[in-house]
Amino acid sequence: MINSISVSELKKLDNINLIDIRNMEQYNNNHIKNAVNIELNQLLINPDKYLNKSNRYYIYCQKGIQSRKLCQILTNKGFSVVNIQGGYEAWILSE
């Protein structure tokens, strides 16, 4: 089972590792402040290159579907990850 968090819960957190897994064009168009862009395929191919198993990461995509699937895979590999429900679209709607 994966951990998930709502956008309203996310907004209460400070100093987190926030990852946007959308493509660079989407990220450059707009993203959540302080998010780093690591595309989905890069994380799937080599998560150890980008993530440390001792840290927690909050991950989002456009709608929360791809990030949920990725979080399941990464959780199974021993990473501490949290899916942001609804993704970037939920973030925009909450503003």
**57-77 per-position pLDDT tens digit:** 999 999 999 999 999 999 999
Q: How confident is the model at residue 95 (pLDDT cuts 50, 70, 90)?
A: confident
Q: CATH homologous superfamily for 3-94?
A: Rhodanese-like domain (3.40.250.10)
> What is the per-residue pLDDT for 2?
83
Choose among 74, 95, 87, 93: nearest CA to 35.
87
Average pLDDT, the chain: 96
pLDDT value at residue 62: 98
Q: pLDDT digits over 30-53, tens only?
A: 999 999 999 999 999 999 999 999
